[in-house]
Structure 1
Amino acid sequence: MDDHTLRVLEFEKVLALVADGAAFSVGREQVMALRPEVTFEGTLARQRETAEMRLLDQMGIDVPFAGARDVRAAIHAAAIGQVLDPPDLVDASQTLKTAFRARQVVDKLRDRVPNLSTIAETIADFRRLSDEVERAITPRGEVADNASEQLATTRRELRIAQDRYDQRVQAALADAIRRGIAQEGLLTERNGRKVIPIKSDYKGSVQGIVHDVSSSGATVFVEPIGVVEAGNQVRELQLAEVREVRRVLQKLTTLLGDREDEAMTSVLTLGRLDSLHAKIAFGRRVKAELPQPGDGESWLRREGATIVERGRHPLLRGTVVPTDIAVGGEYAAVLITGPNTGGKTVALKTLGLLTLMVQAGIPVPCADSSRFVVYPRLYADIGDEQSIEQSLSTFSSHMRNVKAILEKAAPGTMVLLDELGAGTDPAEGSALARAVLETLLERGCTIVATTHHGELKAFAHNDPRLRNASVEFNLETLSPTYHLTVGLPGQSNAIAIARRLGIDEEVLNRANAQLTPEHFELETLLAEIRAERSAAAEARRREELAREESEEMRRQLAIRRDRVEQERMEILSGAHREAEDALVQMRRELDAERRKMATRDFDTRAADATMKRMDSDLAKLGQRARPVRPEPAAARAAVVRDLAPGDRVHVRDIPQVGEALSAIGEDGRVEVQFGSIRMKVSVDRIDRVETALPQESVALPQRARPNVSMELDLRGQRAEEALSRFELYIDDAFQAGMPFVRIIHGKGTGALRAAIREALRGHPLVRKFESAPANEGGEGVTVAILAG
């Protein structure tokens, strides 16, 4: 991309803002080295990476960068054989460990962020180095005793030798003090050896090595002969310690230096992830809406129109008026006119800078409905670059830039021209500006230009490839609104501004006299069109507000309706559960009454009355226990109306298709044949009815309902024999219309109970089952509630 364009559009300043969010210097360095891509594929790759990093940010997943440092110099030093100091090893180890943790975080979401995962794959595993450094170097940056066995032994021996040496020197000092030959009662060191300060008059009284003499000559510093050997031993151990420490550091350095390329790549990749993270932080600060999390491509185009909606220049501070502009596609060029300081150049720079940011993979502050075309070339001539030293006037500097643009312009080029044709005779400047525009259009360029020349407004109006645009100006406040209006040329407002500033009316009248009637007609027409557009925009705004309020009201009503329906269903479901429980309990009581009837001393009249009462209650509870299903009334009515004998019936909870044997009875039930089993089924349990095909009628054999006991006793039987009896018993009980049965299997080891309950669990004729009450057998008896 052209360096002059990057400079005039202030791309470097944007990079500096992005770099402020980097965690360490390598990331900042990579941000500052960013340049816009010149291909669609390159831009797409950049934006996909940014979109995926934004997705991680939206999910609240932090890629770790804590503790990262630029350790490339240390890595290179290790590779060429230098021994690294503990702090350098710690920094390198921590940075490489952080890089691998970043890779692990990204790898966990490989399916969601495939491009970031591909980047992170280049980070190598240096956990062995990290473990060794953490074991060998303390948090204070010192080599630990346990860095090696030899170092631990040497330091232990050194401490013992040092204690012994200190004791002997202290004893020699005490003797010198007692004899009155010590200058003072303190030990000191000279040349790394501990010495006693002896008065010079008594230096012959102490045998030893003189290491130093005071400046006055009154004191000599003597190492007593009796401690020399102990001092020598300490010194030897100190040197041994230094050698072993260096050997440990050399070993750790080799672990790093032998993998220089992998380490360098890992640091650079961590910097790349950091630069992407810095882009996202910048996007949050400028409230960028593109790219959307995980979407780095739907808003990019190879060709067509660039559409910027609510675009904001990222370098502006305070309240920024957003810019809406579209160029390319149907209109290859946009010509912006209007008064000075009205915002023409800002609109021009905003479009150009946002385009560069898109192609560099940087989030852009605009609405997510914006669309951007990728341009392989973008040239801009913005600002006044006049130079006295180079004898360049304003016009000359513009022409020099235009010349360079014309030499490079080709299809797929975006050209931004500020104050085209300014700085010279208006007639010639206008003609030259028109010629430049026509030439660039013929070469297939996309152009946005600003100008004050009225002739160019007419040119843009008459040429179908161009479109007029203007910046608005508030005549009441004499200030620009910075709002860009596409489709209308700008008004100069020069005389109106002069009047507001107090210029003599006679001067203004003379100025008006110089203008043609057509000028006044055009200005009046433009003012009327602007007023109509403003009114239409206000009407659209109110309509949109009303629509949003209507949608919100509709949404709230829907939420309220769903909440009411949910509460209603919960209430009904609770009532149905209670009714079903009561129904089961009443059936048990009814069964108990029937068993009592078999005894001799049983009051048959009382039992008969009880049976009638319970039958009545049973019918009422059965009605209450029927579940209310959200089935359309029309569909249910159709089933009831169309059901006829011979139809194929699909009943809920019964996997087999049945055949209707009768029409619907007064009790709302229909008799259905399932193979050899006949039963009555409630209509609301029928899911679907298939009309029977015409065929010759065949009389089905009528099987009398068997007389079945309410209990089946399987105690003492093997599981295979018990299951065979169980299957026959359930069929007979179902045909007899029994509501529930009791299976007595005993407690024992529990094997028979488990087999029976496993068979009940998937049985089509059983709705549910449970253990009998404790006073009726408990876990030794299973009560099965039959379907029907």
Structure 2
Amino acid sequence: MIFPENFEQKIGFDEIRTLLKGRCMSTLGTEWVDSQLKFLSRYEDVREALEQVRDFIRFSEEEDDVYEENFFDVRQALMRIRPERTHMEELELFDLKRSLKSVSDLVDFFRKKGDDEIPEYPALTQMASNVETFPQIVKRIDEVLNKYGKVKDTASPELLQTRHSIEVTTRGISHSLRTLISEAQNEGYIDRDVAPTLRDGRLVIPVAPALKRKIKGIIHDESATGKTVFIEPSVVVDANNRIRELKSQEKREVIRILQELTNNIRPCAPAMLQSLHFLAHIDFLRALASFSKTFESVIPEVRKYPYMDWVQAIHPLLQQSLQRHGSKQVPLDIALKGKQHILLISGPNAGGKSVCLKTVGLLQYMLQCGMPVPMRENSVMGIFHDIFISIGDEQDLENELSTYSSHLLGMKAMMKNAGPHSLLLIDEFGGGTEPQIGGAMAEAILNRFVENGTYGVITTHYQNLKHFADSTESVVNGAMLYDRAQMQPLFLLRIGHPGSSFAIEIARKIGLPEDVIAYAADLVGKDYVMSDKYLQDIARDKMYWETKRQKVHTQEKQLQASLANYEKELQNFNQERKQVMAKAKEEAQDLLKQSNAKIESTIRAIKEAQAEKEKTREVRQQLDEYKNTLRQDMEEEDRIARKIEKIKRRQQRKSEKKGSALQQLVSTLSKNASDQPRPVSTHVKVRVGDYVRLKGQTTVGHVEVISGKQARVLFGMMHTNVPLSRLEVTVKPESNNISKVSTFVSKQTRDAVYEKKLNFKSEIDLRGMRGDEALDVVSHFIDDAILLEQSQVRILHGTGTGALRMLIRQYLHTVPGVKTFHDEHVQFGGAGITIVEF
């Protein structure tokens, strides 16, 4: 059940129908769009329709020349021939033949592809399973009609003979007329460029009125100007009469042939109508595939129960309109899953709330009509049994109902009929009456929807509904984001926190007098006005930590991949080492055998030489040389073994270092994400009594007290509390060095620094300043931030021409204490604000 009756018009589905019908090739497809494209509430029906579209899109992309796109609507002709002695005309038969041929080609193809154990196009194969084809009828029509849709001469012997007689007689008439025209031209009765023409089916000669009596014959007609008369010469009157008789005879024979062919078709007419129904479905699927390609629509995962997890969803009609003007729609991410059933969207006027609502309604309706939807493929959609909508001005003048009364009637119907499988779409919930009672009534109705377990997307401006969503598990706040710096909506939906109406900012942008704006702000109070800013600050902080968490997750994956790579390399190295050692042992065994053989050979040579000293000396010298060679080889092998062992130890250290770095990084970033101080680095072990220095600095101090993560350090004459993570242990400096780095700081100076730290503001506004003036202010501001150990500051310089922004960033490049700087998020100022981190 869809509520109200004009639901399709409200969400724009009637325009979708029009676009689809414009892509159909015949009235078969357009009537299918009107009659068969409807809301389906059963999961099985939706899935079947989507599978048919999926298969046809794949079929149209992968298969060529399977069939000719002949979609002709000949249903009226088939119904007209039910009585006997009626017949179909040549063009009707020609269209029927082409349509039946398309049906036959498609059915034969899908049945062939379905013969396999796993059909290639299962949904289309199922569609074609019960469709009857008529190859004999197609063949018979081909025997009767030529390729232009006219009855062939060979359709019957009588027709062939009649047309032959007509041709022969026509040639005789033409010859007689040419002879007569030639003689008349020689006599000067008619012009040289005159040729026979046809009037009322008879060949005649055009002649000037003054010379019409020069040619004997019958005057059949004259021109509109009266300057030419058309004469049928008496010599061809009988032949023309014969032509007319033959033409009548030909027509009678053609009708007889068509009647005979129609008699063959008449018994099959009901089955042919069913085949044309299949062809209409194919025409619709072809149009839908083209529509889906144009709007980049996909078929997401569909679940049997109500569910929404949409990624990058767009409204196709809005996207088409924006493309014509060179713009592009901002996609929406929408989620209603788990215990969250109702999304309460707030935000500025003209910020996209109603567009978001209509996008939900249109895309959900499209899906449950069996249509692909424009969103990412990793989206998940559910099935709703009912969709209720309350959008726009519901004032009923006929029944004398106000806007609010009509709104309440709609809410009454929703509370009565909506259940756990219903989807509610309500725009400006509770509007149209006095805000206080309207908000209370809206909260009561919303509470009833929660009790009924209904799903819904609701837009509102009421603060009490936002608080209700925060305190109710099944309702979640959503905000349409707004760029405060540029004073324009971003059309981005952020789920998880409420939005602001930005009434003050929008009024200021429009140009209302400042005193009027100030008066209004005083009426509602400073706290109420600032609540919008606080909401945005919370949203900004949440976005920052979400980004930080994602960065931690990415870096963790990268480190794990690196660690796995090192482990794999170490494993390969160990395997290669084993192979090298095995080979070295084999070579050592061979070397030992060679050595023994050499020694034995030497002893034998000495014995054989007996007392020959020269020979003995020569043999001994050879043995010594062999020993030296052997020693060098062993030293080389030892060196290689030591090198291998060294490489192994280095690989192990790298692996251990990467593992500890991974644990340290994850621990550090995780604590940052939960607003906890950074832990002390594992390689820094600071104890009471150690001499330390700030990382990157040379001044040496003495640790007197350690309290938690802080250390009280004496630098010269000044005590300073410093985080342990910023300290590194160093050696005790010599006395002369201490005198060089020690500095006397008075109590008044330390108190002044402490006071300055308490009053320091981490944001500065430079708008309206000249370049040199702004640069001077920024330099002092950055120096103070470094001195007071700030982690981050914001510099508000505006966008303008960009010169001031460029000048400030050129200066920041030269400051050693600045780690990085970047634009603020677009929601909170974008390029108009520079974030500096130390």
Common fold, TM-score beyond 0.5? yes
**1:327–1:247: structure 2 CA closer, same or farther, 3 Å change rule?**
same
Match of 1:66 in 2: 69
Q: How does 1:511-660 map to 2 (within 5 A)?
A: 511-515=520-524, 519=528, 522-523=531-532, 525-539=534-548, 542=551
Residue 136 of structure 1, aligned match among 144, 151, 154: 144
Pairwise CA distance, 1:170: 7.8
**1:309–1:165: structure 2 CA closer, same or farther, 3 Å change rule?**
closer
Is 1:44 matched up with 2:47?
yes
Match of 1:108, SS?
helix
Answer yes or no: is the 8 Å Cα contact 1:75–1:92 preserved in 2. Answer: no
Structure number with the higher helix fraction is 2
**1:546–1:143: structure 2 CA closer, same or farther, 3 Å change rule?**
farther
Counterpart of 1:249, as a letter, is: L
Pairwise CA distance, 1:357: 0.9
Q: How does 1:111-510 map to 2 (within 5 A)?
A: 111-163=119-171, 233-291=242-300, 299-317=301-319, 318-386=327-395, 391-500=400-509, 503=512, 506-510=515-519
Unaligned runs of 5+ in 1: 292-298, 558-788
Match of 2:120, SS?
coil
Match of 1:106 in 2: 110
Aligned-pair RMSD on alpha carbons? 4.4
Match of 2:8 in 1: 6
- CA shift digits 1:280-327 (9 cap, x unpaired): 222222222324xxxxxxx22222532212211111233221111222
Answer yes or no: is the 8 Å Cα contact 2:307–2:383 preserved in 1. Answer: no
- CA shift digits 1:586-620 (9 cap, x unpaired): xxxxxxxxxxxxxxxxxxxxxxxxxxxxxxxxxxx
**1:453–1:247: structure 2 CA closer, same or farther, 3 Å change rule?**
same
Counterpart of 1:301, as a letter, is: R
Answer yes or no: is the 8 Å Cα contact 1:209–1:222 preserved in 2. Answer: yes
- CA shift digits 1:104-131 (9 cap, x unpaired): 3333332022221121234432333333
Answer yes or no: is the 8 Å Cα contact 1:191–1:211 preserved in 2. Answer: no
Counterpart of 1:426, as a letter, is: P
- CA shift digits 1:229-278 (9 cap, x unpaired): 76665444333222212222223333333321222222221121221222
Cα distance in 1 for partners of 2:564, 2:243 equals 86
Cα distance in 1 for partners of 2:313, 2:435 equals 33
Answer yes or no: is the 8 Å Cα contact 1:419–1:449 preserved in 2. Answer: yes
Pairwise CA distance, 1:404: 3.4
Answer yes or no: is the 8 Å Cα contact 1:309–1:367 preserved in 2. Answer: yes
Counterpart of 1:124, as a letter, is: E
Pairwise CA distance, 1:49: 1.4
Pairwise CA distance, 1:537: 3.7
**1:176–1:435: structure 2 CA closer, same or farther, 3 Å change rule?**
closer
Answer yes or no: is the 8 Å Cα contact 1:122–1:265 preserved in 2. Answer: no
Range 506-515 or range 484-493, more displaced:
506-515
Answer yes or no: is the 8 Å Cα contact 1:327–1:448 preserved in 2. Answer: no
**1:57–1:175: structure 2 CA closer, same or farther, 3 Å change rule?**
closer
**1:199–1:463: structure 2 CA closer, same or farther, 3 Å change rule?**
closer
**1:78–1:539: structure 2 CA closer, same or farther, 3 Å change rule?**
farther
**1:384–1:145: structure 2 CA closer, same or farther, 3 Å change rule?**
same
Answer yes or no: is the 8 Å Cα contact 1:305–1:330 preserved in 2. Answer: no
Match of 1:16, SS?
helix
- CA shift digits 1:134-193 (9 cap, x unpaired): 333333443221122221122223333444566678889999999999999998888766
Cα distance in 2 for partners of 1:103, 1:484 equals 47
Cα distance in 2 for partners of 1:272, 1:555 equals 55
Answer yes or no: is the 8 Å Cα contact 2:50–2:299 preserved in 1. Answer: no
Counterpart of 2:161, as a letter, is: T
**1:345–1:63: structure 2 CA closer, same or farther, 3 Å change rule?**
farther
Cα distance in 2 for partners of 1:213, 1:505 equals 88
Percent same amino acid among aligned pairs?
28
Cα distance in 2 for partners of 1:400, 1:167 equals 88
- CA shift digits 1:519-559 (9 cap, x unpaired): 467545423320112213433565677689899999999xx
Q: Structure 2 length normalisation: TM-score? A: 0.57
Answer yes or no: is the 8 Å Cα contact 1:305–1:373 preserved in 2. Answer: yes
Is 1:35 matched up with 2:44?
no
**1:244–1:408: structure 2 CA closer, same or farther, 3 Å change rule?**
same
Answer yes or no: is the 8 Å Cα contact 2:425–2:458 preserved in 1. Answer: yes
**1:169–1:37: structure 2 CA closer, same or farther, 3 Å change rule?**
same
Counterpart of 2:50, as a letter, is: Q
Counterpart of 1:312, as a letter, is: I
Cα distance in 2 for partners of 1:278, 1:414 equals 29
**1:287–1:545: structure 2 CA closer, same or farther, 3 Å change rule?**
farther
Answer yes or no: is the 8 Å Cα contact 1:63–1:106 preserved in 2. Answer: no
Match of 2:317, SS?
coil
- CA shift digits 1:376-397 (9 cap, x unpaired): 1101111124466664543234
- CA shift digits 1:441-486 (9 cap, x unpaired): 3333212211111111111222222121111111111111111111
Cα distance in 1 for partners of 2:257, 2:556 equals 75
Counterpart of 1:90, as a letter, is: F
Counterpart of 1:155, as a letter, is: R
Match of 1:18 in 2: 20
**1:123–1:552: structure 2 CA closer, same or farther, 3 Å change rule?**
farther
Answer yes or no: is the 8 Å Cα contact 1:328–1:446 preserved in 2. Answer: no
Match of 2:253, SS?
helix
Pairwise CA distance, 1:411: 3.5
Counterpart of 2:388, as a letter, is: Y
**1:502–1:546: structure 2 CA closer, same or farther, 3 Å change rule?**
farther
Cα distance in 2 for partners of 1:198, 1:517 equals 102
**1:446–1:65: structure 2 CA closer, same or farther, 3 Å change rule?**
farther
Counterpart of 1:21, as a letter, is: R
Answer yes or no: is the 8 Å Cα contact 2:502–2:532 preserved in 1. Answer: no
Cα distance in 2 for partners of 1:383, 1:36 equals 22
Counterpart of 2:101, as a letter, is: K
Cα distance in 2 for partners of 1:548, 1:69 equals 59
Cα distance in 1 for partners of 2:229, 2:71 equals 55
Answer yes or no: is the 8 Å Cα contact 2:487–2:505 preserved in 1. Answer: no
Answer yes or no: is the 8 Å Cα contact 1:49–1:115 preserved in 2. Answer: yes
**1:58–1:205: structure 2 CA closer, same or farther, 3 Å change rule?**
closer
Match of 1:379, SS?
strand
Pairwise CA distance, 1:514: 3.5
Match of 2:87 in 1: 83
Pairwise CA distance, 1:436: 1.7
- CA shift digits 1:1-57 (9 cap, x unpaired): 343222211111122233343333322332244112122222122112122223324
**1:552–1:420: structure 2 CA closer, same or farther, 3 Å change rule?**
same
Answer yes or no: is the 8 Å Cα contact 2:426–2:459 preserved in 1. Answer: yes
Unaligned runs of 5+ in 2: 320-326, 567-838
Pairwise CA distance, 1:359: 0.4
Pairwise CA distance, 1:60: 4.9
Cα distance in 2 for partners of 1:94, 1:459 equals 64
Match of 1:84, SS?
coil
Answer yes or no: is the 8 Å Cα contact 1:197–1:222 preserved in 2. Answer: no
**1:103–1:474: structure 2 CA closer, same or farther, 3 Å change rule?**
same
Range 397-406 or range 267-276, more displaced:
397-406
**1:214–1:102: structure 2 CA closer, same or farther, 3 Å change rule?**
closer
- CA shift digits 1:49-96 (9 cap, x unpaired): 122223324535576452322222232233445433322221221122
